[in-house]
């Protein structure tokens, strides 16, 4: 009888341990729960002449330049997120770059032949480095449609160990998403990884917020 009790107790401990392992694999940041962010094209409009301002606020230029160009047009957005390895660990000191067209659909590139005048108050390109927690932040605008493309933001990450990722971020619910030829090349699961909601931030400025976490495989 005593042996039967010990066997039962050992069985319960074993099952509890297996349950704990299962829980850790599903919630603790194992590689299986952190799918790599899919790579996408850099596109033709990575700035061929980088702006004088290259900080993480694309909506506010230096005082001297802002005096002649005005403020950026569009829906102000706080874009934040983390850069992670496949095992869930943070990647500090990674360089994060973003570039996108302005509210008029114009890129900061001499090859962009759009008909509308480029918004001189929008930086068009920004960069920052991740903190100890792998976090980053940009102040930009909600992306707008570009001829033939859904609204998107180009993102490039260069980790401290040299690993790189170039991808594109899409707006959840944008009607152009279904027609975008680059987005359609991704599987449904991959599209989910690069499509994020833009929600009201609740501040007095009426700005939006979006979070885009990236995993380097």
**How high is the pLDDT of residue 69?**
62
| Same domain, yes or no: 61 and 78 | yes
Q: The tokens of 51 are what?
A: 């702006």
Which is higher by pLDDT, 53 or 8? 53
Q: What is the pLDDT of residues 121-130, one digit of tens each?
A: 999 999 999 9
What is the CATH classification number for the domain harbouring 49?
2.60.130.10
| Same domain, yes or no: 168 and 188 | yes
| Same domain, yes or no: 89 and 116 | yes
The three-state secondary structure class of 16 is: helix
| Same domain, yes or no: 111 and 166 | yes
**How high is the pLDDT of residue 29?**
36
| Same domain, yes or no: 75 and 158 | yes
pTM: predicted TM-score of the whole model, two decimal places: 0.82
| Same domain, yes or no: 123 and 168 | yes
**How high is the pLDDT of residue 34?**
87
| Same domain, yes or no: 119 and 186 | yes
- Indicate if the pLDDT at residue 22 is higher than 70: no
| pLDDT bracket for residue 18 (50, 70, 90) | very low
Percent of the chain with pLDDT over 70: 82
Cα-based angle 211, 95, 184 (whole degrees, multiple of 5): 50
The structural domain count of the chain equals 2
Q: Which domain holds residue 180?
A: 34-216
Q: With DSSP H G I counted as helix, E B as strand and the rest as coil, what are the percentages for the chain, rounded to 5?
A: 25, 25, 50
Q: What is the pLDDT of residues 156-190, one digit of tens each?
A: 999 999 999 999 999 999 999 999 999 999 999 99
| Same domain, yes or no: 19 and 81 | no
| Same domain, yes or no: 45 and 119 | yes
| Same domain, yes or no: 165 and 92 | yes
Cα-based angle 143, 146, 148 (whole degrees, multiple of 5): 135
- Indicate if the pLDDT at residue 20 is higher than 70: no
């Amino acid at each position: 009888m005593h042996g039967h009790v010990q066997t039962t107790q050992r069985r319960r401990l074993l099952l509890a341990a297996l349950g704990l392992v299962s829980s850790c694999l599903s919630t603790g940041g194992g590689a299986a729960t952190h799918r790599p962010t899919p790579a996408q094209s850099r596109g033709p409009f990575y700035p061929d002449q980088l702006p004088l301002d290259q900080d993480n606020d694309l909506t506010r230029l230096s005082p001297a330049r802002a005096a002649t160009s005005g403020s950026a047009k569009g829906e102000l957005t706080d874009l934040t997120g983390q850069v992670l390895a496949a095992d869930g660990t943070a990647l500090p000191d990674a360089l994060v770059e973003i570039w996108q067209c302005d509210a008029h659909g114009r890129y900061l590139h001499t090859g962009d032949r759009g008909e509308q005048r480029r918004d001189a108050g929008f930086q068009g390109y920004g960069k920052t480095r991740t903190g100890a927690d792998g976090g980053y932040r940009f102040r930009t605008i909600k992306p707008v449609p570009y001829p033939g493309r859904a609204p998107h933001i180009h993102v490039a990450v260069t980790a401290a160990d040299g690993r790189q990722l170039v991808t594109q971020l899409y707006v959840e619910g944008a009607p152009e998403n279904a027609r975008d030829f680059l987005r359609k090349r991704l599987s449904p699961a991959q599209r989910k990884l690069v499509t994020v909601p833009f929600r009201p931030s609740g501040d007095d400025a009426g700005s939006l917020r979006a979070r885009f976490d990236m995993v380097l495989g």
